[in-house]
Structure 1
């Protein structure tokens, strides 16, 4: 006998689990979220929230609050410098600066691509916001200090034994489905997942500190990479943690990277002196908070779906931190899986296994690309050293000489800096990877293909090409509606419905959508976009990217991916739309 029944049990309340809870609540799906820790993370962890994540947060009513708390990204930079302190000839020198993550010269491109810009908010500040939203939307459904002891699934559901940490009390939960978002600690190994990929690439030691860097830290830098010409550290990275941004930022994450078998480690007791030495601020006072020490790896589970058990986030894939794709991919996993679970739990799919397996088909392929891209950008940091004339075998004396040559006011110094600009410029693959963040497309059971070719992908990952080709993310375009404006991404809503976008001559789709909704039990909102319609494309952006004629239609799934597209109104529009929805929902 179970003590509790819930349609979905979510294990792990990091960013992925909290997102799953929020999305399921908005979709009307009862669930239970458990987390073995007593609170959200005390570690800085991930901090960059990309355009896709922020538009998902906009869909579910979190974006404004997250943006208000986060680092404004209108002019964000990534800076490479020799030190933050010192008065020697090689101190406080700028090596290279990138406009990054939607800032500066990238701003217009990012604002055109999505209805809300990316932001920077470390997980230790993001997760409390997400927890509050999860608890408000699912009262009594979020339980910290509860751990999964064991689970077993059968043809009808999953039986899980859970322990309340403080009291030791155990209870049994019966659920239809289980989401493992526990970072791969328990659910994945017990389900039989095998992590495939590259492990032990490097060892990272990070520390969260409070320190006054107002007189020396760049106020516009989302990341500052310090490469000291002298000393034991080749690179030290500094990331602002807020809560105040700019030069008055109070808290920072400081990271040191080592080869996995490098004996020259930094112990916790040595951290203050290491920070002072790495930044060349010998008198810096600081307060130490929590930190992390872990091996950098790129692994992806061989499967995401195990019957009624699903893996998401770090339980399904673990990324190198460069390019900031780990947490973002985790939230996208949750977004993809949640609406499909809602369809199944509402009884709208006659082949739920097929629909739910499309989660693995869609997300695993994208997560592999993201993991590979993160690894690629991590390894490309070697090019930064190469641009400065440095290698792992460079002696301390040679390192100083290389920096002296680089900053020399000579023709050769100018050549070395020009070469470095070109070589270092390849690291834009990390700092402006908009096409990686937005340009992917899904194929499989929940998409009705139209035999068109995908748009070209930028081999450097930067230039995103919007498209309504089925499987791709719906292009963002601002539409004038009444006295204000809405994004095409606002037309679906957060409650699991579909949107059918058509043009001035697409009035016939109203009846088709009504017939499909009546037969299949789904909500299909028809939105006509045109000069004399309630939604007006005054900029012409939607007309340019829609890929349909005035009487064509684009069917948008609940996750704002295109599920079906037809260039014009067919003779049997209702029949065509019903067949398309049956395919997407795996409904006979």
Structure 2
């Protein structure tokens, strides 16, 4: 019997398989497509997502397949055509090192964008190497759940039994529909689009620069060019859902005789929706099945990966009998509010992209006027308030500086600090409950309780106190001089009793 059945083999489904397997859970993933997606789709991997991959030893592999944007990076470009942007004539943009110099709140770096197709090529073997069974060309035909598990009928006629089902089957989730769970939000946003993946050598047009996106305003070929590999692979997003046209691409690029190859095309439309519930009995929604978020800000995929990470350790502990089933209630309580804020922030950016791209004082002032959060705050500054947090502090100290939000408060991601060469406080957590303290009494209490503990001196830890950090790196309890309360506090976080 498969312990957890994951439906959907996109980035979020594969991430769920990796995280669950990392925690020792038996995973069976089915994906109705014949193989991994070749289309890049999203390209922005956020720093919090990289922290999650670091936890399972994949940050180096993901960085290796990312586009090398270490040199001049122009970020967002706007021009009539790419040729008319005259990139070779522009002064150098900031280097990657300069753009990431102020990211002292995280132990990770990424050398550039990372298309989903490349990311999935890392996640698929990682899931299988950790023991997950991943099947392509097999979908979910139907399922039923009872008090003890889920019975699923697959598209090839097989019946499988699992303790839980994780639905990562996209924005048009069949699992969500079968559960009768509705979704709320603005719905469809903008006109239908076509995302065309093509190959063409644009080196001469780049002039040694890189960029994330180029907005093209030619009246006959309005759209957005997105970097895939920074040299010969690109995506062009254009209005309409008609067949892709090579002549349209040439007009957008401003090179009439350009040699190019159209690889694939993906019709799509922006949507803004959040499921009314993320759980129903033994079934959990993750990724686009739980929330469809417009792409500006690169929040959607990253939020989905964080869903999978949040859920994995909780399922693992419940399945091993180390936590009460009540712990699983915290998944919806924690992740749905994050999705609602993420959707709100993405929609605000649609109305005014400068809210996202402007990193100067003017950008901060503009965000303050409309209630927008700086992008790093959206990615990792959020705080949880659920039964898996003792005395949560949901209010954010800052809407601009994520470092101020990562202050050790219950419900926030544990502060990062280097404690040795290449070792972060995040690394000390090690996917388990962990006590961080500078006080010997707490180290002794942790030893008696069978909880991992590390002696660290952080300004965010109260004098003679400790942080009890959950397996996902979030602070579950910030305690003062009360080491005798460690055991009951841990029981409360595991869903057994109140603290």
Compute the TM-score of the two structures, normalised by the length of structure 1.
0.77
Distance in 1, matches of 2:394 and 2:90, equals 39
- State the partner residue of 2:276: 302
- State the partner residue of 1:488: 425
- State the partner residue of 2:45: 49
Compute the TM-score of the two structures, normalised by the length of structure 2.
0.90
Of 397, 414, 417, which aligns to 1:477?
Answer: 417
- State the partner residue of 2:490: 581
Q: Which moved more, 1:116-125 or 1:302-311?
A: 116-125
- 2:227 maps to 1:240: yes
- State the partner residue of 2:181: 193
Of 20, 23, 28, which aligns to 2:24?
Answer: 28
**Are the aligned partners of 2:449 and 2:486 in contact in 1 as well (CA < 8 Å)?**
yes
**Are the aligned partners of 1:81 and 1:94 in contact in 2 as well (CA < 8 Å)?**
no
TM-superposed CA distance for 1:68, in Å, is: 1.2
**Are the aligned partners of 1:516 and 1:578 in contact in 2 as well (CA < 8 Å)?**
yes
- State the partner residue of 2:61: 65
Evaluate the alpha carbon distance shift between residue 63 and residue 274 of structure 1 in structure 2; reply closer, same or farther with a 3 A threshold.
same
Evaluate the alpha carbon distance shift between residue 220 and residue 560 of structure 1 in structure 2; reply closer, same or farther with a 3 A threshold.
farther
Distance in 2, matches of 1:564 and 1:334, equals 22
**Are the aligned partners of 1:135 and 1:142 in contact in 2 as well (CA < 8 Å)?**
yes
- State the partner residue of 2:100: 107
- 2:115 maps to 1:143: no
The alignment's C-alpha RMSD in Å is: 3.0
- State the partner residue of 1:510: 443
Q: Deviations over 1:131-190 (max 9, x none)?
A: 011111115x111121111000111111101133xxxxx211111110000114311100
- State the partner residue of 2:435: 500
- State the partner residue of 1:391: none
**Are the aligned partners of 1:468 and 1:565 in contact in 2 as well (CA < 8 Å)?**
yes
Distance in 2, matches of 1:361 and 1:453, equals 13
- State the partner residue of 1:132: 125
Distance in 1, matches of 2:448 and 2:361, equals 59
TM-superposed CA distance for 1:109, in Å, is: 1.6
Unaligned runs of 5+ in 1: 165-169, 259-264, 388-419, 518-523, 531-541
Unaligned runs of 5+ in 2: none
**Are the aligned partners of 1:439 and 1:466 in contact in 2 as well (CA < 8 Å)?**
yes
Distance in 1, matches of 2:350 and 2:308, equals 26
TM-superposed CA distance for 1:427, in Å, is: 8.8
Query: What's the secondary structure of 1:277's corresponding residue?
Result: helix
Tell which structure's C-alpha radius of gyration is larger: 1
- State the partner residue of 1:267: 242
How many residue pairs match? The answer is: 489
TM-superposed CA distance for 1:128, in Å, is: 1.7
TM-superposed CA distance for 1:461, in Å, is: 7.6
Evaluate the alpha carbon distance shift between residue 426 and residue 278 of structure 1 in structure 2; reply closer, same or farther with a 3 A threshold.
farther
Q: Deviations over 1:293-337 (max 9, x none)?
A: 112111000000101110000100011011001110010000000
- State the partner residue of 2:114: 121
Distance in 2, matches of 1:15 and 1:382, equals 28
TM-superposed CA distance for 1:370, in Å, is: 0.8
Query: What's the secondary structure of 2:213's corresponding residue?
Result: strand
Distance in 2, matches of 1:309 and 1:98, equals 50
- State the partner residue of 1:468: 408
Give the alignment of 1:109-508 within 5 angstroms: 109-110=102-103, 112-118=104-110, 119-138=112-131, 141-164=133-156, 170-183=157-170, 184-202=172-190, 203-217=192-206, 219-228=208-217, 230-233=218-221, 235-242=222-229, 245=230, 249-256=231-238, 258=239, 265=240, 267-269=242-244, 271-350=245-324, 352=325, 354-381=326-353, 433-449=375-391, 454-458=395-399, 465-480=405-420, 484-494=421-431, 497-503=432-438, 506-508=439-441
**Are the aligned partners of 2:185 and 2:272 in contact in 1 as well (CA < 8 Å)?**
yes
